[in-house]
Amino acid sequence: MLKSIKTTAKSPAALSDDALIAAVAQSDVAAFEQIHKKYFPKLMHFARRITGNAEAAEEVANDVLMTVWRTADRFEGRSKPSTWIFGIAYRVAMKQRKKLERRAGDVELDEGMIAARDDTAETVIRGTDLKNALDQLKPELRAVVELTYYNGYLYTEIAEILGCPVGTVKTRMMTARRRLRGILSDDEQTGGEHAVA
């Protein structure tokens, strides 16, 4: 039977992630709605970077949140709830990517660039170049960049999310930075219309 958060001292919006996960573990729909509202956009963005596909990213985000709903009672609190959630997201996104690679060939329009907030030509070109450069990285490298720069995780947290040693995370970040510099400087040297200043 589904319950609702008891609004004693705090409203659902004011509860910490730990408290929300504990409430979700008790089948609290209002708590789950708060988790969904907070994490769905972040998960979509993260999964989009890993899978390279907006439709697949939405499926990943939904699958992750349903996993949170079903398994919140197993969360032991040894890490932050966000680390646990993104750990699930990484594994689901990598599986989805493998599935997409098996039926590769579709070209997709990047809706994020169309709806760019700052639509000056230079900003759009730079954003496109960076996105294209990120897309050329292996998913494991892209995940480290995404989790560090777009989600603000520490290397120790990323190691937990990806299920690898901290040293591996650092190595992947160094490799990713080196490759991104190489890709972006190649664009500058070719003097193409998408060169980054």
> pLDDT digits over 126-161, tens only?
556 777 888 888 989 999 998 988 888 999 999 999
CA angle, 25 then 29 then 32, to 5°: 65
| Residue reference for tokens 């230079």 | 122
CA distance 141 to 41: 21
Under 8 Å CB-to-CB from 18, ≥6 apart: which residues? 77, 81
Looking at 72-165, list the stretches that DSSP marks H as alpha helix, in order from N- to C-terminal side: 81-102, 111-114, 121-135, 139-145, 155-162
CA distance 61 to 17: 17
Share of the chain above pLDDT 90, in %: 50
Q: What is the pLDDT of residue 131?
A: 77
Res. 35: pLDDT tops 70: yes
Sign of CA dihedral 86, 89, 94, 95: positive
Under 8 Å CB-to-CB from 84, ≥6 apart: which residues? 75
Q: What is the pLDDT of residue 151?
A: 85
CA distance 115 to 124: 10
Q: What is the pLDDT of residue 53?
A: 86
Task: Check if the beta carbon of residue 83 is closer than 8 Å to that of residue 157.
Answer: yes
Q: What is the pLDDT of residue 132?
A: 81
Locate 22 and state its tokens. 């504990």
Sign of CA dihedral 125, 129, 131, 132: positive
Question: What's the pLDDT band for 86 if we cut at 50, 70, 90?
Answer: very high
CA distances from residue 57 to 61, 126, 168, 187 in whole angstroms, order as listed:
6, 23, 25, 28
> pLDDT digits over 89-134, tens only?
999 999 998 888 876 644 443 444 334 444 444 544 555 677 788 8
